[in-house]
Amino acid sequence: MNYGIVIKVLGKILKIEALLMVPSLLVSLYYNQNDKLPFLISICIIGIIGFIMSKKSNCKKTIKAKEGLAIVTIGWFLCSLLGALPFVLSGSIPSWVDAFFETVSGLTTTGATIINNVEILPRGILFWRSFTHWIGGMGILVFTVAFSHTIGAGGFQIFKAESPGPMTDKIVPRIKDTAKILYITYFAMTILEIVLLVIGGMPLYDSTVHTFGTVGTGGYSIKNSSIGAYNSTYIHMVIAIFMMLSGVNFSLYYALFKGKWREVLKDGELRLYLGIIFVSSVLIALNINSTLYHNIGLAFRDAFFQVSSIITTTGYATANFDQWAPFSKSILLLLMFVGGCAGSTGGGIKNIRILVLLKLIKREFSKIFHPRAVIPIKYGEKVISNETVASITSFFALYIIIFILGTILISLEGIDLESAASAVASALGNVGPGFGFVGPTRTFSEFSALSKMLLSGLMLLGRLEIFTIMALFAPITWRTPRGKSAEAA
């Protein structure tokens, strides 16, 4: 392990986190809020720590797989730990455990909160809280790769370790340019949604923070009743559509920009993703219309919004879906596991893995009748390697095992199975709200400190897709080859 380069890059990441707190400080200054000093102190502390770490010298600049895994995992933990400073110093969230939970939830774009009344918090704190979604959506380390001039070719190891999905491809040959293209797309979607929400009558500040939660698929709102506080079908639909767009693989937007329409339209993962949204929205709309709404237009509006919110793991709400019929709630629970597309800001298992698993099941059925046939699993025209298929099946099995174990541990709190299972599914899938004890009108504040730390760990596992974090605990990751110093390893 090249410890020197790990410390150096982590220092650069912390300097960028300090820089990313500046907009929240400016918001606090503009609105003359009482959280100005906490932000200033936080920026100084994080900036100084980052500056000291980034000055690490006498280290090789090579970043291999081991270093990439360490940088990503430790980087996310440090950013969450230090990102909690403004909450604690301002007194908005006095408990460090609660502040850490809130920051992890923000950066992992989960959106689960322990704050019972967000509307009393200072605007700077609320801005930072939502801005963590925007930062974590694309990834603070991808941002570092895109705009740092000193990471170089080793940035691909960081990009690969942080990017969601089983197959990480460069859009263009240089990884730095790939990261820039992704962030340019991210910026464009952010600005467009802000403009459309302002046109719909939402104040600029509200539009900005809710856009952060939408394109980052996070779900933090500045209203206690979430998006339901804005009684506007136009606003609901704009946010629903942008949630759906944010769950799409961002590389497809670059393909559209390059005029490759056929390639996008033929994308199997995109078709599955849109198909699930359409079918789920129709089924839920029909179900809740017959039981609650008795107005098919309103039923479809709320159904489409919640389906888009849950499958993209955003977590916004326009209605208390915990009161919906069991059939509709069951669909939403399944969508928590499915998640968005690979290469999007959404969490969950990802549609590409679901698609490969379905193809694998189909192949096994075919082999019953043709046992000697060699049937490759394809994604488009590309044959998926057996190693990738094995990785996907292993990920799925591990995901379910962690979900079951997490549910058992959370149930020790004495809450019902539906609440425990949905809380774990929500944390692991980076969704936000669940059912019952953690429904859309409730918070996670009543959990014990141990459960909050467990759920925080599940959020990080879900965002970094399990293997990245688990690999960090393997002895081989930290082992220094014989004959090499720790710095040169």
Q: How many CA atoms lie within 13 A of 205 on its CB side?
A: 16
Reading the block at residue 371, the tokens are: 């046992």
Q: Is 109 annotated as a binding residue?
A: yes
Q: How many CA atoms lie within 13 A of 366 on its CB side?
A: 12
Q: Is 110 annotated as a binding residue?
A: yes
Q: How many CA atoms lie within 13 A of 243 on its CB side?
A: 32
Reading the block at residue 468, the tokens are: 């990245």
- The whole-angstrom separation of Cα 480 and Cα 489 is 6
For residue 336, what are the contacts with CB-CB under 8 A and spacing of at least 6? 310, 313, 348, 422, 425, 426, 429, 431, 434
Q: Is 314 annotated as a binding residue?
A: yes
- The whole-angstrom separation of Cα 434 and Cα 449 is 19
Q: Is 113 annotated as a binding residue?
A: no
Q: Is 313 annotated as a binding residue?
A: yes
Burial of 275 (0-12, 13-18, 19+ CB in 10 A): exposed
70, 6 Cβ separation under 8 angstroms: yes
Q: Is 430 annotated as a binding residue?
A: yes
Q: Is 217 annotated as a binding residue?
A: no
Polymer length in residues for the chain: 489
Reading the block at residue 68, the tokens are: 């990439």
Q: Which long-range contacts (CB under 8 A, 24 or more apart) does 386-393 make?
A: 388/166, 388/167, 388/356, 389/356, 389/360, 391/166, 392/166, 392/353, 392/356, 392/357, 393/357, 393/360
Q: Which residues line the annotated binding site?
A: 109-110, 218, 313-314, 430-431
Q: Which residues line the annotated binding site for K(+)?
A: 109-110, 218, 313-314, 430-431
